[in-house]
């Protein structure tokens, strides 16, 4: 009898979700202290295997490098769990004695988590920690190109969670790499929320599933080097960010933009720090490799080094090259360098004025990346305020590597590997997603006396409104 992969994938998803639903009933009764202990145990076990999991991810996907993936794994475990210590997620969160309102944290329920191939292990730990901290079971759907390392990460997390007192089924991972299984996971009645991290098609599918979803749009952030910036420090930040895990972090810079008087200084310092400014022929060759004919990013260039990319495109660069840079002035579907490139490749825009820079940044983000991340290097707070009021992003970063600043590693933002893009980016949240995004809040509101109406409402008006409501209710 012929094996029906899609049917098997759907059946597996249903079975895993039934077990997760049973786990939810137990998790819902656990006190905050127990959930905290489970989250701590997950992070500790995962951190111990950070190097192994990084090696597995690079070997299986071919994306990035072991050193930086190890840092990501430790960030997703140690840094995230440190950030959530002391945060209350269940039970009485807040009591307003004056208005007589209580706020009670309630887990949302079973979470379906989509895992990208660019961060196939760190995403598992991060999402599991914030889900279990909030009292929710989580089921992972791995990317077909990263199923081995993702399942290994999920196994480590599940074993640690259960050893710390979580019920069986609190953490699970699908094993059959089929779209049908992922679709079943997202649409099944047991699923209450989808955490979607992946390509545009997958995020769109999550929002089309009929379930509440927190998705992540494409990143395509420009980096503006203002004339008040320390150019050497600005370039160092961009190099550190854009080479981190070979450019696979969606918050990383995708272009450098400057005013004309800054061009020479940026070119000189960029070359000194390993930027290779391609000539038009070289840029044309590489541009043809970046995207497939249908407009999607070519997976063969994701997470590769600059030297590898140059060789693939048929030209040679110095061995010290860290990032390939192409001159650009426009943004749009026919301009490959104006889009998100998950590798150490940047566009370079030179504009006539600060106002022209602002307009171009908005144009780039309107084309792709609205709601995600923008970076500025400047010492003038007035220009930061001006741009912050206009740039359509959720993370506006100043004087920091965007890849690290966006995820909260080098800024005061919540440490996260799921970065909401807000309504402008087609996302339901603009937050760096935390456990507080994975709970509902039940509000207990007490009736107040005539002289204590919470809104200071006139007694006669209150009685009239009450009468109308009762009439409508029949």
* Beta carbons of 117 and 202 less than 8 angstroms apart: no
Regarding whether 207 and 154 lie in a shared domain, the answer is yes
Q: What does the alpha-carbon distance between residue 22 and residue 389 come to, in Å, rounded to a whole number? A: 47
Is residue 389 located within the same domain as residue 266?
A: yes
- Picking from 356, 380, 403, the residue at the C-terminal end of a domain is 403
Domain of residue 19: give its range.
5-215+434-439
Asked if 165 and 284 sit in the same domain, the reply is no
Task: Report yes or no: 444 and 457 within 8 Å, Cβ to Cβ.
Answer: no
Position 61 scores a pLDDT of 97
Phi-psi region of 205 (alpha: psi -120 to 50; beta: other; left: phi over 0): alpha
User: Which token pair is 343?
Assistant: 């590798």
Domain membership flag for residue 119: yes
What is the number of structural domains in the chain? 2
Q: How far apart are the first and last CA of the chain?
A: 61
Region of residue 198 (phi > 0: left; psi between -120 and 50: alpha; otherwise: beta): left
Co-location of 347 and 369 in the same domain: yes
- Predicted confidence at residue 1, as pLDDT, reads 43
- Rounded Cα gap, residues 284 and 56, in angstroms: 34
Note whether 187 and 114 are same-domain residues: yes
Tell me, yes or no, whether 99 and 229 share the same domain. Answer: no
The per-residue pLDDT string of the chain (474 residues; one tens digit each, 9 = 90 and over) reads 456 899 999 999 999 999 999 999 999 999 999 999 999 999 999 999 999 999 999 999 999 999 999 999 999 999 999 999 999 999 999 999 999 999 999 999 999 999 999 999 999 999 999 999 999 999 999 999 999 999 999 999 999 999 999 999 999 999 998 999 999 999 999 999 999 987 777 777 888 888 999 988 789 999 999 999 999 999 999 999 999 999 999 999 999 999 999 999 999 999 999 999 999 999 999 999 999 988 889 999 999 999 999 999 999 999 999 999 999 999 999 999 999 999 999 999 999 999 999 999 999 999 999 999 999 999 999 999 999 999 999 999 999 999 999 999 999 999 999 999 999 988 889 999 999 999 999 999 999 865 555 455 666 777 777 777 767 766
Asked if residue 293 belongs to a domain, the reply is: yes
CA–CA distance, 410 with 57 (Å, rounded to integer): 24
The single residue listed with the structure tokens 């030297």 is 307
Q: Which of 177, 395, 280, 226 is nearest to 288 (CA)?
A: 280
Residue 446 lies in a domain: no
DSSP string, 225-263: E-TTS-HHHHHHHHHHHHHGGGGT-TTS--EEEEEGGGH
The predicted structure's pLDDT at residue 407: 97
Handedness of CA 345, 204, 436, 193 (dihedral sign): negative
Q: Are residues 91 and 229 in the same domain?
A: no
Do 283 and 315 lie in a common domain? Answer: yes
Range list of H helices, 75-199 = 80-84, 122-133, 147-163, 179-187
Q: Do 211 and 227 belong to one domain?
A: no
Q: Which residues pair with 441 in a beta bridge?
A: 105
- The DSSP H or E segment spanning 347 is strand 345-351
Both tokens of residue 302?
């994701």
Q: Which helix H or strand E contains 277, and what residues bound it? A: strand 275-277
- Please give the pLDDT value at position 411: 98
Specify the 3-state DSSP secondary structure of 168. Answer: coil
Same domain? 175 vs 313: no
CATH number of the domain where residue 317 is located: 3.40.309.10
- Catalytic center residues: 250
pLDDT of residue 456: 57
Say if residue 189 is in the same domain as residue 230.
no
- State the Cα–Cα distance between residues 270 and 325, nearest whole angstrom: 10
Are 174 and 279 members of one domain? no
Decide: residue 458, CB within 10 A, 0-12 exposed, 13-18 middle, 19+ buried.
exposed
Residue 410 within any structural domain of the chain: no
- CATH of residue 124's domain is 3.40.605.10
Q: At residue 110, what are phi and psi to the nearest 5 degrees? A: -65, 130
């Amino acid at each position: 009898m012929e094996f029906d992969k899609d049917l098997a994938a759907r059946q597996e998803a249903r079975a895993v979700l039934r077990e997760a639903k049973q786990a939810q009933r137990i998790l819902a009764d656990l006190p905050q202290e127990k959930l905290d202990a489970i989250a701590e145990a997950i992070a500790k076990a995962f951190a111990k295997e950070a190097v192994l999991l990084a090696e597995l991810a690079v070997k299986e996907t071919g994306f990035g490098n072991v050193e930086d993936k190890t840092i990501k794994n430790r960030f997703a475990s140690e840094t995230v769990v440190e950030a959530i210590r002391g945060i209350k997620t269940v039970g009485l969160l807040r009591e307003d004695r004056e208005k007589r309102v209580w706020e009670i944290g309630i887990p949302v329920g079973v979470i379906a988590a989509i895992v990208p191939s660019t961060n196939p292990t760190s995403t598992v730990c991060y999402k599991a920690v914030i889900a279990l901290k909030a009292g929710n079971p989580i089921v992972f759907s791995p990317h077909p190109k990263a199923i081995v390392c993702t399942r290994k990460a999920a196994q480590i997390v599940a074993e640690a969670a259960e050893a710390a007192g979580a019920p069986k089924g609190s953490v699970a991972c699908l094993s059959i790499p089929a779209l049908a299984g992922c679709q079943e996971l997202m649409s099944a009645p047991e699923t209450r929320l989808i955490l979607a991290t992946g390509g545009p098609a997958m995020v769109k599918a999550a929002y089309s599933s009929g379930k509440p979803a927190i998705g992540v749009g494409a990143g395509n952030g420009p980096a503006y080097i203002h004339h008040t910036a320390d150019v050497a420090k600005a370039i160092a930040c961009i190099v550190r960010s854009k080479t981190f895990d070979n450019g696979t972090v969606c918050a990383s810079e995708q272009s450098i933009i400057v005013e004309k008087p800054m061009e020479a200084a940026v070119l000189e310092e960029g070359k000194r720090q390993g930027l290779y400014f391609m000539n038009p022929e070289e840029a044309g060759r590489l541009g043809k490799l970046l995207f497939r004919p249908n407009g999607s990013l070519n997976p063969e260039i994701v997470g590769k080094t600059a030297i590898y990319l140059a060789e693939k495109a048929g030209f040679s660069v110095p061995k010290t090259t860290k990032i390939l840079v192409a001159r650009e002035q426009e943004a749009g579907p026919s301009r490959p360098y104006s889009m998100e490139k998950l590798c150490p490749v940047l566009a370079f825009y030179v504009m006539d004025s600060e106002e022209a820079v602002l307009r171009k940044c908005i144009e780039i983000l309107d084309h792709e990346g609205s709601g995600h991340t923008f970076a500025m290097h400047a010492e003038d707070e007035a220009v930061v305020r001006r741009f912050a009021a206009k740039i359509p992003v959720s993370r506006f970063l100043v004087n920091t590597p965007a890849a690290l600043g966006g995820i909260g590693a080098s800024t005061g933002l919540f440490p996260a590997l799921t970065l909401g893009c807000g309504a402008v980016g087609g996302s339901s949240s603009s937050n760096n997603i935390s456990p507080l995004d994975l709970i509902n809040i039940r509000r207990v509101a007490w009736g107040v006396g005539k002289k204590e109406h919470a809104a200071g409402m006139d007694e006669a008006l209150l009685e009239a409104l009450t009468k109308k409501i009762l009439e409508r209710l029949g």
